[in-house]
Structure 1
Amino acid sequence: MGGETRTAVILIGHGSRVPASGNDMVKVAERLRSENCYAMIETCYMSRMKPFFSETLKKVAESKVEKVVVIPYFLHSGLHLVLDIPEMIQENAKLFPGLNIVYGKHLGYDDAMVALVKRRIEESDTLDDVRELKLAERSNYPLPKDELEFVPMTEEEAKEYRDSCGSRCHHHHH
């Protein structure tokens, strides 16, 4: 085992207004924890749900591990993965200069993902037509104060919106 016993792992998810949205990531962490391969396995969120990354990194750092591996629990690459999350990690890393913190790859493509998608397709044989789904009420998931809902818009509309609000647009990170 060696270095793994002095290594902590942080899985970071997006966060959502839907409280149960992080349950799958937490289950993955629990399974990893049960294998006792690492000093700690923690979960946190980029926004909207606690715990946030800053408090999770502090907790891990206080446990005297030597290395922290941050794994973004995201399927696809995008702005959060190429800029928002690594920027947040770098900012928080300043508080713990003696700690080795690495930013691992997102879930992305893997042969295991192909098998999982195939399994999901096969499972769909038992599902009803989408028109028969009973959907939750959107009002069950209110927007936090001062946050905007995602609204589909054309590129021209997006440019007008960005020009009107400058750098205040789309920043919901902690």
Structure 2
Amino acid sequence: MSGRQGVILFGHGARDPAWAGPMQRMRERMRALAPELEVTLAFLELMSPSLAEAAEALIAGGCQRLVILPVFLAQGGHLKRDLPALLAELAARHPQVEFKLEQAVGEAEPVVAAIADYACACARTPSR
């Protein structure tokens, strides 16, 4: 499939807007590293845009392939039940678009290794 590719960093959402700060930094880093990608954020609840709103905007902008990357620590109920249902609705409305769902970022080996390295560094740093 040709055409533009979009990436949706999908998070749970929170009442405090500052909660999305790390995801916003991820988005900006991705845009710097891969300017050919259309990268946006989406949230399951409490924040905007929703997954459908983010996907619709990317599709309207010409994206024909969307990679959904759950920014969750692990594959819990939201990722096992809620997200597949949301994606099925989108796929039914947009059969011309390829949707690719990735595993939760917290389950990817490089992320697990980075967290373990960070935890070890924290443990080895003397208290102030």
TM-score tier, shorter chain, comes to 0.7 to 0.9
Greater shift, 42-51 or 118-127, is seen at 118-127
Q: Is the 8 A contact 1:8 1:38 kept in 2?
A: no
Q: What is the RMSD computed on CA atoms of the aligned residues?
A: 2.0
> What corresponds to 1:7 in structure 2?
5
> What corresponds to 1:110 in structure 2?
109
> What corresponds to 2:29 in structure 1?
31
* Cα distance in 1, alignment partners of residues 92 and 58 from structure 2: 15
Q: CA deviation at 1:127?
A: 5.1
Q: CA deviation at 1:14?
A: 0.5
Structure number with bigger Rg: 1
TM-score normalised by the chain length of structure 2: 0.85
What secondary structure is seen at the aligned counterpart in 2 of 1:49?
A: coil
- Of Structure 1 and Structure 2, the greater strand share is in 2
* Cα distance in 2, alignment partners of residues 126 and 22 from structure 1: 30
TM-score normalised by the chain length of structure 1: 0.64
Q: Which of 81, 98, 101 is equivalent to 1:100?
A: 98
Q: Residues 34, 90 of structure 1: CA spacing in aligned structure 2 closer, same or farther, 3 A cutoff? A: same
Q: Give the aligned residue type for 2:117.
A: K
Alignment of 1:1-174 (within 5 A): 6-107=4-105, 108-124=107-123, 125-126=125-126
Q: CA deviation at 1:39?
A: 3.1
Counting matched residue pairs gives 125
Q: Residues 80, 112 of structure 1: CA spacing in aligned structure 2 closer, same or farther, 3 A cutoff? A: closer
Unaligned runs of 5+ in 2: none
Q: Is the 8 A contact 1:44 1:50 kept in 2?
A: yes
How high is the sequence identity, in percent, across the aligned residues? 24
Unaligned runs of 5+ in 1: 129-174
Q: Is the 8 A contact 1:39 1:65 kept in 2?
A: no
